[in-house]
Amino acid sequence: MRLLVMLAVALTPTIGYSQAPVITGAVNAASLAQDQPLSPGSLVSLFGTGLAASTATASTVPLPDSIAGVSVTFSGITAPLQFVSPGQINLQVPWRVEPGITDIVVTVNGQTSAAFRAEVGPVSPGIFRIASGSSQAVAINPDGSIAGDYGSVPGVKTEPAVVGNTLMILATGLGLVTPAITDGAASRDQARTTLATPTVLVNGFPALVTFSGLSPQFVGVNQINIVVPE
């Protein structure tokens, strides 16, 4: 009886690893919109089944090409990975992926998924939210508080934005930057601006954009600085 129990335990992981991963969706990691194209350099969340044998997070920057036996390619170009789990992978779209249709493939311990076809556009922005399910944007006041009604986000310091002050908005999907940067790297060495300058509206009023580029802290994250309009 003891031998049978040991064999059952030893065989269980092997059965799990033999199942090919299946991709069911690929979305902008900030907006999570199903009908939105992806874009080069942006952060993306893949959803599906069997996408990893375990849950793991990248511990280094530049981000690695493989975590816990998982790798992902976009039309044959390996993507840097942030996070992997059986149902979700967070990653950066390689900068070299061109607009059009791309084939996304996940490989888990040698088992490869069928290609998932996704549309890629030159730009496809999404603004990060303070928490999943929240409508509160990550728009940061000069004092570090989040621009919002007092107490609108439990556990987070929030203060209304002030006309004439600068807000820092965190987003992803604003496309190529100059100077260029390698896949998986953070823009800590110098400022990098987006080739496309976004239009930002606050309550329908256009705001002056003083900077649009990469955040120096986070891989694949855009920083947009605006002056709050009257």
pLDDT digits (tens, 9 = 90+) for 184-205: 999 999 999 999 999 999 999 9
Residues 6+ apart with CB under 8 A from 12: none
Count the Cβ atoms, other than its own, within 10 Å of residue 67.
Answer: 23
Query: 178: burial class by Cβ within 10 Å (0-12, 13-18, 19+)?
Result: exposed
pLDDT attached to residue 18 = 63
The tokens 């603004």 sit on which residue? Answer: 127
Q: Could you report the per-residue pLDDT of 64-97, keeping only the tens digit for each?
A: 999 999 999 999 999 999 999 999 999 999 999 9
pLDDT attached to residue 133 = 81
Residue ranges of E strands in 58-164: 70-74, 77-78, 81-84, 88-92, 100-108, 111-112, 116-120, 126-127, 139-140, 146-147, 158-159
Three-state DSSP at 138 gives coil
pLDDT attached to residue 6 = 34
Q: Considering Cα of 10, then 11, then 14, then 20, what sign does the dihedral take? A: negative
CB hemisphere CA count around 48 (13 angstroms): 27
pLDDT attached to residue 12 = 37
The per-residue pLDDT string of the chain (230 residues; one tens digit each, 9 = 90 and over) reads 333 333 333 333 434 456 899 999 999 999 999 999 999 999 999 999 999 999 999 999 999 999 999 999 999 999 999 999 999 999 999 999 999 999 999 999 999 999 999 999 999 999 999 988 888 999 999 999 999 999 999 999 999 999 999 999 999 999 999 999 999 999 999 999 999 999 999 999 999 999 999 999 999 999 999 999 99
Three-state DSSP at 223 gives strand
DSSP letter (8 states) at residue 88: E
pTM higher than 0.85 for the full model?
A: yes
